């Protein structure tokens, strides 16, 4: 960071124009050259600018970069803790903030903003995440070679979480190709996840194998287990259900103390056996998934899946029980996504027309929240409904929507 960058940061921080800052000090054109680094002002002008910004002369001219390798290591440590131990991450961050929150260095402000965005991506509302992202993005000009890898990683995760997978890949792939980035295994795993969401299974497996090889070299066996789980998901998407089941069982054997992953493995085993038409095993593993849930709201996806299965096989009693239970939990925890999805099932159970609700509520909600899976599902439902009612034009457009969404796979 140079003097010009620092002046620009301080000016933007207080939302002032160049004219407002330099009034009575120097010309706007001269000040503009200071910000761009084309001129070096004399001490008198610097003293007046420091007073205008409300800081000391020493603080203004101190342009040593406080963002050194040691600071970056502390931030990377907090990043890892956010994934593994939130209380410890909060404690480490508060210690970091106490030391640096008064810094006027824009690079440090960017680092703090990136940590806060990473926290927000773990546990905050969409609105809060968006606010933190905009804050970090506004400080991007003050990044440097030390900060840029973290910026790419956190903002890549933001794009992944918000469904902008192409933007996420652009940032992630830049890190994967960087010579000295130390977290290559994690980045290849995150790239694999992103390609999985884009249904580009070949590339997902390609990067997952790179990640797995690096985790094995690091003897990070917990993360190797997570890689096996994602391999199972990829093979499931390829329609190779036996291979998927094999990977899920490999994971199941070694995760006795990880109930959250256990819950997900059992749910996915249920999905695989359902695809194989072994409904007894499917139901068994769905129930095992619910038993492994540490918090009742974590079971909502499985309850929804069970309700859909029972509705499809016309077991109305079980379907009704699961719809009622799921709707009550969705209401209890204010989870709008599941309120909508269980209401669609309730309309189907009752034999009521679902078309209007799908068109006016369910599909717009899925579009807003990038829920591609249910966008496809609900468009297929509408296409079937319009076909049955001889509204062939509407049916055509709905099935065209489905083909467009599937054709948009990268």
331: in domain: no
3-state secondary structure 147-185: CHHHHHHHHHHHHHHCCCHHHHHHHHHHHHCCCCCCCHH
381: in domain: yes
| Prediction pTM value | 0.75
Residues 172 and 70 both lie in one domain = yes
Banded model confidence at residue 311, pLDDT cuts 50, 70, 90: very high
Domain of 120, in residue numbers: 66-182
Tokens encoding 50: 């420091």
Residues 40 and 78 both lie in one domain = no
211: in domain: no
Residues 147 and 174 both lie in one domain = yes
302: in domain: no
Mean pLDDT confidence for 313-334:
96
DSSP state of 180: S
**Which pLDDT belongs to residue 410?**
37
Tokens encoding 309: 């299965």
Residues 56 and 71 both lie in one domain = no
Question: Does the pLDDT of residue 110 top 60, yes or no?
Answer: yes
258: in domain: no
127: in domain: yes
201: in domain: no
pLDDT digits (tens, 9 = 90+) for 164-204: 999 999 999 999 988 788 899 999 999 999 999 998 999 99
Share of the chain above pLDDT 70, in %: 97
Residue 213 and residue 167: Cα distance in Å, rounded? 26
Comparing C-alpha atoms, which of 359, 266, 344 is closest to residue 311? Answer: 344
Residues 178 and 70 both lie in one domain = yes
Among 122, 150, 182, where does a domain finish?
182
Number of domains in the chain: 3
pLDDT digits (tens, 9 = 90+) for 37-81: 888 888 889 899 989 988 888 877 775 557 788 999 999 999 999
401: in domain: yes
């Amino acid at each position: 960071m140079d003097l010009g960058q620092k002046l620009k940061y301080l000016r933007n921080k207080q939302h002032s124009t160049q004219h407002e800052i330099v009034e009575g000090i120097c010309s706007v054109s001269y000040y503009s050259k200071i910000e761009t680094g084309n001129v070096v002002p004399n001490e008198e002008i610097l003293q007046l600018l420091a007073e205008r910004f409300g800081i000391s002369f020493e603080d203004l001219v101190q342009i040593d970069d406080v963002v050194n390798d040691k600071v970056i290591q502390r931030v990377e440590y907090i990043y890892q803790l956010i994934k593994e131990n939130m209380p410890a991450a909060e404690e480490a961050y508060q210690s970091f903030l106490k030391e640096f929150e008064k810094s006027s260095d824009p690079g440090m402000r960017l680092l703090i903003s990136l940590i806060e965005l990473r926290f927000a991506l773990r546990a905050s509302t969409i609105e809060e995440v968006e606010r933190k992202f905009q804050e970090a993005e506004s400080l991007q000009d003050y990044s440097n070679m030390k900060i840029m890898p973290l910026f790419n990683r956190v903002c890549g995760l933001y794009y992944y979480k918000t469904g902008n997978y192409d933007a996420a890949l652009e940032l992630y792939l830049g890190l994967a190709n960087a010579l000295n980035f130390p977290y290559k295994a994690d980045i290849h795993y995150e790239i694999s996840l992103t390609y999985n969401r884009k249904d580009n299974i070949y590339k997902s497996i390609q990067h997952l194998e790179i990640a797995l090889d690096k985790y094995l070299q690091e003897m990070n066996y917990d993360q190797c287990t997570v890689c096996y789980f994602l391999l199972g998901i990829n093979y499931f998407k390829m329609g190779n259900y036996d291979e998927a089941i094999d990977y899920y069982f490999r994971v199941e054997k070694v995760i006795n103390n990880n109930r959250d992953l256990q819950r997900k493995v059992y749910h996915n085993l249920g999905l695989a056996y359902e695809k194989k038409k072994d409904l007894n095993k499917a139901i068994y593993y769905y129930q095992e998934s619910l038993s492994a849930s540490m918090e009742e709201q974590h079971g909502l996806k499985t309850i929804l899946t069970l309700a859909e299965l029972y509705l499809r096989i016309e077991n109305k009693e079980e379907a009704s029980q699961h719809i009622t239970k799921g709707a009550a939990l969705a209401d209890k925890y204010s989870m709008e996504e599941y309120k909508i999805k269980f209401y669609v099932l309730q309309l189907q159970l009752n034999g009521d027309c679902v078309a209007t609700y799908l068109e006016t509520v369910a599909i717009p909600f899925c579009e807003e929240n990038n829920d591609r899976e249910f966008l496809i599902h609900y468009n297929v439902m509408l296409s079937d409904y319009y076909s049955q009612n001889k509204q062939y034009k509407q049916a055509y457009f709905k099935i065209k929507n489905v083909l467009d969404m599937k054709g948009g796979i990268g």
